[in-house]
Amino acid sequence: MTRLSHYACGSPHPLPRRMRGLWRSATKRCRDREGSSPRCERSAVGPTPTAMLPSSCLSFRKMSAMQVEGVPVTVEIGLNAVIVAVVNRSPRILAVSETDGDTRDSLPFGPFDPARHRTFEASLRARVEKRTALKLGYIEQLYTFGDRGRQRLPGEEGKHMVSVGYLALTRTDAENNERLAEAGAHWRDWYGYLPWEDWRQGRPAVLDQTILPALARWEAGLAGDERSAANVQRRSRVRLAFGLDDFPWDEERVLERYELLYEAGLVREAVTDGHCRETEKSAAGLAMRHDHRRIVATAVARLRGKIKYRPVVFELMPPEFTLTDLQATVEAISGRHLHKQNFRRLVEGAELVEPTGGSLASTGGRPAALFRFRRQILDERPAPGLKVGGR
């Protein structure tokens, strides 16, 4: 585990000499503004040197903010992965179960070891392949998740966990699944965590039965002078995120919807984090440990947007496939039902696939033609993708 010890103001500090002046001036500004407490939440004094925080995107501001109690705080840098596969036309993410009695799922997590791996990505690929035999295809860094208290456990008050989140795409088979079971991992339908995002069979019932009525109560929950302006703002956010009134449903606003539900106390994590005292569990879907469901929402949003301008969907497909299977995979990711003929015209127009000359026998009908991804498109067009959905 990469550990970086931060010290209280006035103590010996592990900064290079060229940065110490910035530290002293930033601390002085904080004391001048807020008395003796060196809180630097609002002070932007530039990034930490990369020798201390290799690509973690922590800032000098965040480092000083963790010294408000005047005690050493250990920062641990780790990697979280949202590993996606499509199994039986269902979008799955790889989840792991802990042995501490907590039944909630968590995402695969591991420390970054700079002594063994030069980059975060290399570390992630090696760790996943060693533990699960999964070979990751497309991989992309999502975000750095470092909110204070996001992963605190009893007895760890002096520890702060910063996770660099990744989206990774893969394929799976029976042999992989055996290795996954040995590693305590399993595939979960991502709509189990985010049930309001699945529109393939029409508008999800949970929206009108539970979520939207609860959000309406939340909108009207403020009283006094704050009520008018704040309630209007809340209403505007709900309309935009959930496609109400004149706004269309935008399948890419996954994270915005999850964060609204968290703020309104409609997901279990809001209670676990102490954000609210109780929640309407029927609206929540499956809860995850820490802020891992937020990371999942970030990954789903990123992938839904990415398939529109990059051919990453083929990382989830076998080398040869039918157009029906391709459509089902795109529908699984986007959460939308697509018109068959319109989808085929879209695929033909995008020139993303080519026939193999083979076919697949299907029950009750004529054999379906097999296709493969046409890799030449990567050299022919700057943004080849399947532009489906609301954007």
Which residue do the tokens 């890419």 mark? 252
pLDDT of residue 127: 85
Prediction pTM value: 0.77
Dist CA 39 CA 9 (whole Å): 10
Which residue do the tokens 């005292």 mark? 277
Instruction: Decide if pLDDT at 349 tops 50.
Output: yes
Top-confidence residue, 173 or 385: 385
Question: What secondary structure letter does DSSP report for 379?
Answer: H
pLDDT of residue 39: 32
Q: Per-residue confidence at 390, pLDDT binned at 50, 70, 90?
A: low
Domains in the chain, start-ordered, CATH in brackets? Answer: 2-71 (no CATH), 75-192 (3.90.79.10), 195-285 (no CATH), 313-380 (1.10.10.10)
Instruction: Decide if pLDDT at 276 tops 50.
Output: yes
pLDDT of residue 183: 82
Dist CA 308 CA 321 (whole Å): 20
Share the mean pLDDT of the chain.
78
pLDDT of residue 361: 84
Best CA proximity match to 76, nearest among 21, 16, 13, 153:
153
Percent of the chain with pLDDT over 70: 73
- The pLDDT tens digits of the residues spanning 208-267 come to 999 999 999 888 876 555 567 777 889 999 999 999 998 999 999 999 999 999 999 899
- The pLDDT tens digits of the residues spanning 297-346 come to 999 999 999 999 999 999 999 999 999 999 999 999 999 999 999 999 99
Q: Give 232-290 as a DSSP string.
A: HHHHHHHHHHHT-TTPPP-TT-HHHHHHHHHHTT-SHHHHHTTS-S---GGGT-S-BST
- The pLDDT tens digits of the residues spanning 123-180 come to 988 888 887 878 888 999 998 887 765 555 544 555 677 889 999 999 988 777 888 8
Instruction: Decide if pLDDT at 379 tops 50.
Output: yes
The answer to whether the beta carbons of residues 7 and 72 sit under 8 Å apart is yes
